[in-house]
Amino acid sequence: MPSKKQINAGKTEVLIQVTGSGFRKSSTARWRPAKVTAPTQLPASSVTFVDTTRLEIKLIPGDPGTGTLTVTTPNGLSAVAEVTVG
C-alpha cells in the first residue's frame, strides 16, 4: 500500500503513491479520514494506474489522526492500509 504511510493534514488534495502487486486499470479506492466513521469512494479520476505494482491516488487528508485507505482490484481483491495524517 502507500510507500509512505504518513501524510500532512489538510483540506487540499494530495497525491500519494501506492505500491503493491496485482493492480489493474480499473482498480478503485476508498478513503476514510481520521475522525470520520464511513469511507468515501474516490472518483475514478482520482485513481491512476501506473503499472501492476503502483497506483497514484489523489485524496484530501482531512484532520490529524489515522485514516484508512482501501484499494480494490476489478477482480475483487482488496488491501487496506492505515495512514497517519499529521
Q: Which domain holds residue 57?
A: 6-85
Residue-wise pLDDT for 64-79, tens only, equals: 999 999 999 999 999 9
List the one residue out of 43, 50, 16, 52 whose CA is nearest residue 7.
16
Spatial distance between the Cα atoms of 27 and 29, rounded to a whole number of angstroms: 7
List the one residue out of 66, 67, 70 whose CA is nearest residue 57.
70
Residue-wise pLDDT for 18-35, tens only, equals: 999 999 999 999 999 999
In 9-53, beta strands by DSSP E: 14-19, 28-32, 40-41, 47-51
Q: What is the pTM of this model?
A: 0.92
Q: In the chain, how many domains are there?
A: 1
| CB-count exposure of residue 12 (10 Å: 0-12, 13-18, 19+) | exposed
> CATH number, domain at 20?
2.60.40
